[in-house]
Amino acid sequence: MATEASEAPLTRRPTRLASFLDSDVAYSFLHSRITIVAAIVALVIVAAALFAPVIATQDPYDLRQLSIIDSHIPPVWQADGDKRFLLGTDDQGRDVFSTILYGSRQSIAIGIVSTLFAAALGIALGLIAGYAGGAIDTVIMRAADIQSTFPAILIAMLIDGTSRALFGQQRHDNVVFWVMVLSIGLSFWVQYARTVRGSTLVEKSKDYVLAARLIGIRPGLILLRHVLPNVVGPVLVIATINLALAIITEATLSFLGLGLPSTQPSLGTLIQIGQKYLFAGEWWIAIFPGATLAALVLAVNLLGDWLRDALNPRLR
């Protein structure tokens, strides 16, 4: 087999796509049915969220399109259903299907941006701690130790509460997206920092780093250009699994009334609104957003698990 491959004419170099399809990662993906299903589910939800303005039958942010007369309508297939509202309407007459699309948008956007923020912060601190060592290392890692004794959700709540006090309720609603990103991002940096610090400690004693230092490259450049690419693998896995956690955290905060307000709802806010009407038999307001959230998080988790096994980095 090996000789056959080497005798093949070298004129046609494999395209990037072809070489990717030939890799171990692609192989394990194509041979794990559940991962493919998870990827499809995630893709469908993300695409639906992305194209929400096109797909949605109503803009839930546009108060002119809402009518209180249309409120509390059950899904189409029930006796009192209305053809205009596939999954029914909520207490303000918003189409549940459309609000789920727009809500997923909020949830996914906050999840991704806060995960990127946490990763960037954690990677930067981990690189600095690992490379600098000494007192800087001690301070950063002790801070990480202290923070990791608290559940992330508490830290996020605290940051949210503080910003609520600083901005006041009205202004808080305007900046709530960034407050959420900040509070979730600051709660999840520790794991990245620990992992990156560990690998940086290993990398910095290697010859290529020594060589780079000898020819006088600045430490910042060494870290960015030389060390970072070699430590970033495990970070990818943590980021995928943390994306699910970030989405859950955002949903939880919104559900508790600390996240997105009901005028610009995320999935968590929708579930909070729907919870009030469960006993009135209006299950669709809470259950549909809940199912969307569960499917999204489960799909991302499955993808994260697969990525961890496929890349098989040193963490577990």
Partner 1 sequence: MIAFIIRRLLQAIVVMLTVALIAFTLFGFVGDPINMMVGIETSAQDRENLRQSLGLNDPVIVQFARFVTHAARLEFGSSYQFKTPVIDLIKDRFPATMELALASALFSLLIGIPMGVYTALHRRSVLSNVFLAASLIGISLPTFLIGILLIFLFPVTLGVLPSFGRGEVVHIGFWSTGLLTASGLKALVLPAVTLGLFQMTLIMRLVRGEMLEVLRTDYIKFARARGLTDHAVNFGHALKNTLVPVMTIAGLQLGSIIAFALITESVFQWPGMGLLFLKAVQNVDIPIMSAYLLLVAFIFVTINLIVDLLYAVVDPRIRIDARPA
Give the residues lining the site for partner 1 (CB under 8 A). Answer: 138, 142, 145-146, 149-151, 153-154, 157-158, 160-162, 164-166, 244, 248, 251-252, 255-258, 268, 271, 275, 278-279, 281, 283, 286-287, 290, 293-294, 297-298, 301-302
Is residue 259 within 8 Å of residue 268, measured between CB atoms? yes
Q: How far is the CB of 101 from partner 1 (least distance, A)?
A: 19
Nearer of residues 226 and 268 to partner 1, judged by Cβ: 268
Nearer of residues 98 and 301 to partner 1, judged by Cβ: 301
Nearer of residues 154 and 224 to partner 1, judged by Cβ: 154
Nearer of residues 96 and 248 to partner 1, judged by Cβ: 248
Q: How far is the CB of 304 from partner 1 (least distance, A)?
A: 10
Q: How far is the CB of 20 from partner 1 (least distance, A)?
A: 28
Q: How far is the CB of 18 from partner 1 (least distance, A)?
A: 33
Nearer of residues 9 and 281 to partner 1, judged by Cβ: 281
Nearer of residues 3 and 149 to partner 1, judged by Cβ: 149
Return the HEC string of the chain: CHHHHHHCCCCCCCCHHHHHHCCHHHHHHHCCHHHHHHHHHHHHHHHHHHCHHHHCCCCCCCHHHCCHHHCCCCCCCCCCCCCCCCCCECCCCCEHHHHHHHHHHHHHHHHHHHHHHHHHHHHHHHHHHHHHCHHHHHHHHHHHHHHHCCCHHHHHHHHHHHHHHHHCHHHHHHHHHHHHHHHHHHHCHHHHHHHHHHHHHHHHCCHHHHHHHHCCCCHHHHHHHHHHHHHHHHHHHHHHHHHHHHHHHHHHHHHCCCCCCCCCCCHHHHHHHHHCCCCCCCCHHHHHHHHHHHHHHHHHHHHHHHHHHHHCCCCC
Nearer of residues 148 and 312 to partner 1, judged by Cβ: 148
Q: How far is the CB of 169 from partner 1 (least distance, A)?
A: 9
Q: How far is the CB of 299 from partner 1 (least distance, A)?
A: 9
- C-alpha to C-alpha distance for 137 and 139, rounded to whole angstroms: 6
Structure tokens that stand for 190 in this block: 């520790």
Nearer of residues 49 and 153 to partner 1, judged by Cβ: 153
Q: How far is the CB of 62 from partner 1 (least distance, A)?
A: 28
Place of tokens 């949210």: 160
